[in-house]
Amino acid sequence: MTARYEVTAELDRASLSSLQLVVLILCFLVATFDGMDAQIIAFAAPWMMPDLGIEEGSLGIVFAAATIGMAFGAVIFGYLGDLFGRKRIVVITVVMFSIFTPLAGLASNLNELLVIRFVTGIGMGGALPNAVTLVAEYSAQRQRRMMVSVMYMGFAAGGILGSLAAKVLIEPFGWQSIFYFGGVAPLLLVPFLLRYMPESMHYLVRQVGQDRRV
């Protein structure tokens, strides 16, 4: 516990560093792609519904499937982040929703789409709380609210990115293309997360023999 408080106190005394900016930028991008993949189905819906035979009244169930999945993901992966480290869980969840988002473009009926979006939601819901925790841990107390707020702006930016992608891709390439884009784009972020994202300091401090790594 002493080591944890010493790390926090040292951060609170320090000015904004390049490492803190790296954490913020990477987590902002995680939130951006999370927000994009959460919202792109709304942009694809007008073209997707007739192809899959989805009635307008059933569309809300599809949206709800992802939202329910996000709630489960936040609880499950939030807990796993405490056990196995925030960085590791962020990478796992980004890979998870990167894989399952394009599968929506391969769905042939409503039931398949519901399952795919639910599992995608689990990944999306698991990424955000762990990214928020990383930003908060690597922020000085006086900057923490601002840093976390900036990170959350990424989710809204994802909606904008998704709408732009829909405008560019859907007409010439079909509604499936936006889901493929929604899978490839966050997957390209994974190598940068592995290379540059630091692990949670509080997690490292809790590990036997890890104090010197902090």
> How far is C-alpha 149 from the chain's CA centre?
15
- The residue extents of the domains of the chain are 2-213
Topology of domain 2-213, CATH: Growth Hormone; Chain: A; (1.20.1250)
Q: Which residues are CB-neighbours of 189 under 8 A, at least 6 positions away?
A: 26, 29, 30, 33, 94
Q: What confidence tens digit (pLDDT) does each residue in 113-171 have?
A: 999 999 999 999 999 999 999 999 998 888 889 999 999 999 999 999 999 999 999 99
Per-residue pLDDT at 11 = 60
Give the integer Cα–Cα distance in Å for 214 and 207. 11
Q: Is the pLDDT of residue 183 over 80?
A: yes
Tell me, what's the pLDDT at 56? 82
- Rounded mean pLDDT of the chain? 90
Q: Is the pTM of this model over 0.85?
A: yes
Task: Assign 3-class secondary structure to the chain.
Answer: CHHHHHHHHHHHHCCCCHHHHHHHHHHHHHHHHHHHHHHHHHHHHHHHHHHHCCCHHHHHHHHHHHHHHHHHHHHHHHHHHHHHCHHHHHHHHHHHHHHHHHHHHHCCCHHHHHHHHHHHHHHHHHHHHHHHHHHHHCCCCCCHHHHHHHHHHHHHHHHHHHHHHHHHHHHHHCCHHHHHHHHHHHHHHHHHHHHHCCCCHHHHHHCCCCHHHC
